[in-house]
Amino acid sequence: MFDSHVAVLLEQAVALVNALTDGEARGRPYAAPRGAELPAAIEGAVPRVAASLPRAVDAAQADYFVGAARRMREVFRAMQDGDVDAAAATVNDLLRDTGARPRLDRTGGEPWQMHFHGPDDSFAAGVNAGSATALALAVGGSLAGRLGVCRADRCDRVYVDGSRNAARRFCSTACQNRTKAAAFRARRA
């Protein structure tokens, strides 16, 4: 399994992709927030513990988040399709563009924590550097197959499979139940 820090960063990547990219969610069209709604969506997707950086999100940072989320979606899609080379190329681009670099930081009396951004980086660069690094660790490690895209009809939300048997196929129990109900109705017909 992923260590706890990487798991948090992967869940952050999932939340950003699912919140900030258009598509379908649970059988319905999903339009990502835009304009004035975007900072609140970003705030909701990034856990409070995720960054030691100031959390103000201006228009330029919001655009940065949206662009990074779109590219992170490409990583999940490539992994779903079994195209590890494409996933790795996209992750490398994200790492380069975010300026990801490991460093230990300490805030106040807290223990040392691993961060992947510099002390002067913007909130957007810092958060996305952490997400890109977590995706790199997943794609470049033995758990690469744990990145997925929901297999339910009319849903393209992404997930990280944290199950013991690596059998997850859906972004949520709602999509799993919707798929099972449709299969049941098809068998009865």
With H, G, I as helix, E, B as strand and everything else as coil, classify residue 56.
coil
With H, G, I as helix, E, B as strand and everything else as coil, classify residue 108.
coil
With H, G, I as helix, E, B as strand and everything else as coil, classify residue 24.
strand
H or E element, residue 94 = helix 84-98
Q: Which of 141, 69, 139 lies closest to 98 in space, CA to CA?
A: 69
Give me the pLDDT at residue 150, please. Answer: 97
- The tokens of 33 are what? 């927030």
Give me the pLDDT at residue 119, please. Answer: 75
**Amino acid at residue number 22:** D
Give me the pLDDT at residue 184, please. Answer: 85
β-strand 158-160 against 147-149: which pairing, if any?
antiparallel
Domains of the chain: 4-144 (1.10.3300.10)
Per-residue pLDDT of the chain (189 residues; tens, 9 = 90+): 677 888 999 999 999 999 999 999 999 999 999 999 999 999 999 976 544 556 778 899 999 999 999 999 999 999 999 999 999 999 999 999 999 999 888 877 888 888 888 777 888 999 999 999 999 999 999 888 999 999 999 999 999 998 888 889 999 999 999 999 988 888 998
Q: Identify the DSSP state of 153.
A: T
Give me the pLDDT at residue 48, please. Answer: 65
Total Cβ atoms within 10 A of residue 127: 31
